Amino acid sequence: MDKFVQIEDVQMVFTTRRGRYVALEDIYLNIHRGEFVAIIGHSGCGKSTLLNLIAGLLEPTRGVLLLDGREIAGPGPDRAVVFQNHSLLPWLTAFGNVYLAVERVFGRDETRSQLRWRTREALSLVELAHAEHKYPNELSGGMKQRVGIARALAMQPKVLLLDEPFGALDALTRATLQEELMRLVATAGTTTIMVTHDVDEAVLLSDAIVLMTNGPAATVGEVVSVDLPRPRDRVALAADARYHHVRAHVLEFLYRRQMRPAA
């Protein structure tokens, strides 16, 4: 497989009232086309900072980030981000929120009829066609996140970036959306990078898990391959020795090799 996302010698330093804060140091990472990669680590390890660098929302202090052979020099429609906060515009319906993104990406080349078709296709993909006329305050938390995912996928990005998108949801809703995300990514074949604190979520969803060392000056401690067949069934995985081996390896890294010292 080709190196689709390449991160070479990246450092990220923030200027604070107390001086320079080195958030990330010596980041090297290659992600292949079509892979689902989870980034996991303790709070303050720079997971979201790394995701924002790939999104082009931050510029690295040193190093280079490439997507499909081109340098990432700012935000672009080839990368779509879904945050923990759904970020829907409250004055627009579910249809309107998705349509706005579709229009920005495809508005110059397509008719309104084609844009509306794209929007409805995206909502159908996340099983929200029935709710297209509802406003965000009429939707549950899980439905709002599904609109956010529909909006991202409707842009047909090369890379889907997810920053703890299910972190604020209850366990049952979270599990349902994890299943939907696996189905959507398999259907679209989109390269996906997800920040999470949840070890089980990372193992269930990913082809590879990036284990971050503690900050400051956090770096990639290890990349763990998740060699589990797809499609995946969480009930079947409960009896799969390979699943438990990967899960135990990640837990050992986080809670022994990178255990936070007592305050």
The mean pLDDT value for 195-218 works out to 95
137 burial type by CB count under 10 A (0-12 exposed, 13-18 middle, 19+ buried): exposed
Q: How far apart are CA 42 and CA 196, in angstroms?
A: 10
The mean pLDDT value for 87-111 works out to 94
Q: Which residues of 91-110 are buried (b: 16+ CB within 10 A; e: fewer)?
A: eebbbebbbebbbebbeeee
pLDDT value for 262: 47
Same domain, 14 and 133: no
Query: Is residue 171's pLDDT more than 90?
Result: no
Query: Is residue 188's pLDDT more than 90?
Result: no
**pLDDT confidence bin for 172, thresholds 50/70/90:** confident
Same domain, 142 and 165: no
φ, ψ at 111 (rounded to 5°): -80, 165
Q: What CATH number did the domain enclosing 211 receive?
A: 3.40.50.300
pLDDT > 70 in the chain, percent:
98
- The per-residue pLDDT of the chain, averaged, comes to 92
Of the candidates 140, 156, 172, which is a domain's last residue?
A: 156
Same domain, 192 and 263: yes
pLDDT value for 208: 97
Cis ω for the linkage preceding 157 (within 30 of 0): no
pLDDT value for 258: 73
The mean pLDDT value for 91-103 works out to 96
Same domain, 41 and 69: yes
Interval 229-254: pLDDT, tens: 988 989 999 899 999 999 999 999 99
**pLDDT confidence bin for 3, thresholds 50/70/90:** confident
Query: Is residue 1's pLDDT more than 60?
Result: no
Same domain, 162 and 235: yes
pLDDT value for 87: 83
At 31 the three-state DSSP class reads: strand
Domain that holds residue 30: 1-78+158-263
Of 93, 104, 102, 123, nearest in space to 184 by CA: 123
Tokens of 30: 């290659």
